[in-house]
Amino acid sequence: MKALTTFLAFLAFVPSFLFSQQSDRPVVPEGRLLFPPLIAHHIEPRVGLSRLVDEERLRLDIGNSIDLLSWRNLPGDARAAVGADFFTWTSLRQERDFHFPVDAVDYLFGVNASYMRPLSSDWVSSLRFRLSHISAHLVDGSYDKQQEQWRDQRLPIVYSREFLDLIAAFEWREAMRLYGGAAWIYHIDPAWLGQWSLQGGAEGVWRQAGWPWLHAYGAVDMRFVDIDGWHAAVNVQLGVKVGRWRGTGVQFFVAWFRGKSQHGEYFDQTWSYWGPGFNIDF
């Protein structure tokens, strides 16, 4: 927890010379979280469902993040917040007769701290720091009861990790966000896996003034993970959101992914798929 305490102290007393420009007016986007979740990144708080067409699976997201404490009117019209994360992402097998047995599930819980500051009347800079734990598990849907064995001879393994990650982002008029960052895993099972990963991405939204409740958007996220060598994982998402862009609504999208599986029990497998889905923002 020492790293988190140090980071929170930085947020509370960050000096004003970090940014050379002053804002003509605050342009901090309003929403339920000071740092909005990254649209195309798989480790984010969501409530929704998507279909993995080429994998014949579904992905189910259940969970939330919340800002528990917030500070306004910091130097330079900045704001800061501290919150908590509790969410899961689950792999469901798609079978006949509308059956979806649970194949694998990943759990995340942790704390986060975020900071946001206007750079000008158009640009906003932000940071998000997370200290998190993830554990992964195979579930009964991965067990073939008729054959009395695990599917594909893949036995459950112990997979867990504790990590720190930091993302820096720059947003233009709530219409475009560019971000990049890194994660350091300070404890992981299996122990031979790499401890670092890199990440970057971009998001854009098109809003029609006459349709304030409908937003078309696109997002791309790329990660580089060290699993017996460096591998890239790319996720692209195109969709529309019905509702406020930084608030309550529903996202309908089509996504494409290629890279190492997002599920810890399949960490060494390369998945490639596309499919439709939806998320509920609240």
Structure tokens at 67: 């800002």
Q: What is the DSSP letter of 119?
A: S
List, in sequence order, every beta strand (DSSP E) within 119-248: 123-138, 143-144, 149-150, 159-172, 176-189, 196-207, 214-226, 230-243
- pLDDT digit of tens for each residue in the chain (282 aa)? 444 444 444 444 433 333 333 333 434 445 679 999 999 999 999 999 999 998 889 999 999 999 999 999 899 999 999 999 999 999 999 888 888 999 999 999 999 999 999 999 999 999 999 999 999 999 988 988 888 899 888 999 999 999 999 999 999 999 999 999 999 999 999 999 999 999 999 999 997 767 889 999 999 999 999 999 999 999 999 999 999 998 899 999 999 999 999 999 999 999 999 999 999 998
Taking the C-alpha atoms of residue 268 and residue 255, their distance in angstroms, rounded to an integer, is 22
Nearest of 51, 38, 138, 129 to residue 83 by alpha carbon: 129
Asked if 94 contacts 100 with a C-beta cutoff of 8 angstroms, the reply is yes
Q: Give the global pTM.
A: 0.86
The dihedral formed by the CA atoms of 2, 86, 192 and 54, expressed in degrees to the nearest 10? -150
Q: Which domains does the chain have, with CATH numbers?
A: 2-15+39-281 (2.40.230.10)
Q: What is the DSSP track for 126-151?
A: EEEEEEEEEEEEE-GGGEETTTTEEG
Structure tokens at 84: 């908590």
Give ∠ CA 175-84-257 in degrees, rounded to 5.
Answer: 50
